[in-house]
Structure 1
Amino acid sequence: MKISYRDTEIYFSSEGTGNPLILLHGFMESSKIWNDFVPSLAVNRQVVCIDLPGHGESGCFNEIHSMEDMAKAVKEVLWNLNIEKAAVAGHSMGGYVSLELSKIFPTLLRSLTLINSTPEADSEERKINRDRAVSLVNKNKSAFVKMAISNLMLLSNSVKHKAEVQNLISEALEMSTKGMTAATKGMKIRTDNMSLFSNLEIEKNIIAGKEDPILNYKYLKKVAITGNANFFLLDGGHLSFIEDKPALRKLLHLID
């Protein structure tokens, strides 16, 4: 399904009824990453998966897609579905968007789950890397996609999950350069939400990968303790939805 939003379209799917769970994908991904999770989750609740702006089947509406912009697009989908309160889980960039949702629409979230994600803003070094990424995408999108995705997990897991990783790469290559750079610029300018996360009086979960090369699990555990959130450690790197699918599925079933 699609809705019109800011002169483009936002794609989403909705299955099941009651107690909505919103699943948000990460950078260079789409709602398809949840395909293996939705059938069992939707047996007992409504599960909504959304292609964030510039990703999957959703269009671009700006040169920069800030996390706030993306959150507002998500809210528009939920408004169309008459959803006033929901559990929200986001992978990586989807976690950043989830945090913005909780900031802009404080009564919307019943619970918040960050999967391979953090409430912290980019470090200065990370911001410089974002600029380099934009430059590389404009010069050679294919090289950037293959390098970026391969760097999200150990080589052994890349081999083990070769088919799924290749599907992820193939789908990312279909993204427009504009969509890719708009999201990268948006992540670079996102605000620090550590205080917001700590002060949220809802169920909060952080799910980390033991071998995540992007986000150190020991650091994320400290964030969880500081923010009074539940912490769960899974096998694998930054792509828990591929690398430890059974464990992630079990945890998603526990979200209220």
Structure 2
Amino acid sequence: MLQRQKVKINNVTVSYIDEGSGSTIVLIHGFCGSPAYWEKIIPDLSKTHRIIVPALRGHGMSSAINDPYSIEDMATDLKNLLDELQIQEVTLLGHSLGGYVTLAFAEKYPEFLSGFGLIHSTAFPDSEEAKQGRQNNIDLISENGIEPLITSLVPKLFSPTNEKEMGDEVRVVTEIGLNTSVTGAKGALRAMQERPDRNAVLKGATCPILLVAGKQDQLIPVEKVFSVQSPFTQQVLMEEVGHLGMIEDPKTLTNIIRDFVQGKVLSNN
């Protein structure tokens, strides 16, 4: 069992995993997830690197904030955590919502980054239709709590085949989602609604960038992940996964991350 630690910074209590030693990799989970999303990735990577895995506001064991907040605020939470831990350089990899936080961090604090990546995430903002969908989910949570949202969301996180065959993993992801606070889920939905287009961050970055897409992702299509090509971007398509490569195929994603951090050229398949 990976140990959680906690630190209170300003008005936010941040829970995080801190394992291993060496150059630092930070892994950020997605919406209604937690650091537990990465539990099949951390043991291998922590043999050669220091792995920091924070829980976002209102997720996992981190505190929820009632006041409205933004993706940028969540990036600042991470910067404050790195300051607290006296870490000055990281490779930052974010899954889904965590990717939005990663892009905001890359925009605000590029001096911290030796590289960064999006795992099943996108630099595009919400469409008007997606914004309305977020609002519908906020209303659903307000009226009925978190359970109906998680019940409808979790099957879409897996590829159709994996959703049928990975019963244990589906149960774990469901349990993680149900442990998300109502305040945290609503706050994150509002923050995602309001996030800007950050393709310019991908285009302007001068450090290595990893873009990982799931061929069977039902939430973020491949072309939305692979939105920018530049000398600094590496695009990797995971064939047999949906939106949860770290759970559906952790061995492959571990190898992708390790090769990226070690500076190896990755194939586009």
TM range (shorter): over 0.9
Which residue in the other structure is 2:122 paired with?
Answer: 118
Distance 1:192 1:152 in 2: 23
Cα pair distance change 1:226/1:45, threshold 3 Å: closer
Query: CA–CA distance in 1 between the matches of 2:159 and 2:192?
Result: 24
**Backbone CA RMSD of aligned residues:** 1.4
**Of 73, 77, 83, the match for 2:77:** 73
2:245 & 2:231 partners in 1: Cα distance?
22
Q: Aligned runs of 1:1-256 on 2, under 5 Å?
A: 1-140=5-144, 141-221=146-226, 223-225=227-229, 228-234=232-238, 235-256=240-261
TM-score (norm 1): 0.95
Tell me if the contact between 1:63 and 1:178 (Cα under 8 Å) persists in the aligned partners.
Answer: no
Unmatched tracts of structure 1, length 5 or more: none
Are the counterparts in 1 of residues 207 and 232 from structure 2 also a CA contact under 8 Å? no
Q: For residues 181 and 118 of structure 2, what CA distance do their matches in structure 1 show? A: 26
For residues 120 and 228 of structure 1, the distance between their equivalents in structure 2, rounded to whole angstroms, comes to 19
How many pairs does the alignment contain? 255
Contact 1:87 1:255 (8 Å CA) reproduced: no
Q: In 2, are the aligned partners of 1:71 and 1:97 still within 8 Å (CA)?
A: yes
Letter in 2 for 1:183: A
Deviations, residues 30-89 of structure 1 (Å, cap 9, x unaligned): 011111111111111111010011100000124333111111111111111111111000
The alpha carbon displacement at 1:156 in A equals: 2.4
Structure 2 runs not aligned, ≥5 long: 262-269
Q: Name the aligned partner's letter for residue 174 of structure 2.
A: I
Whichever residue aligns with residue 172 of structure 2, its letter is N
CA contact (8 A) 1:53 1:65 kept: no
The structure-2 alpha-carbon separation of the partners of 1:167 and 1:77, relative to structure 1 and needing over 3 Å to count, comes to: same
Give the fraction of aligned pairs with identical amino acids, expressed as a percent: 28
Give 3-state SS (helix, strand or coil) of 1:107's partner: helix
1:144-166 CA distance string (max 9 Å, x none)? 11101112233321121111111
How many angstroms apart in 1 are the aligned matches of 2:66 and 2:196? 19
**For the residues of structure 2 that align with 1:32 and 1:152, how far apart are their CA atoms?**
15
How far the C-alpha of 1:108 sits from its partner, in A, is 0.9
8 A contact 1:161–1:242 mirrored in 2? no
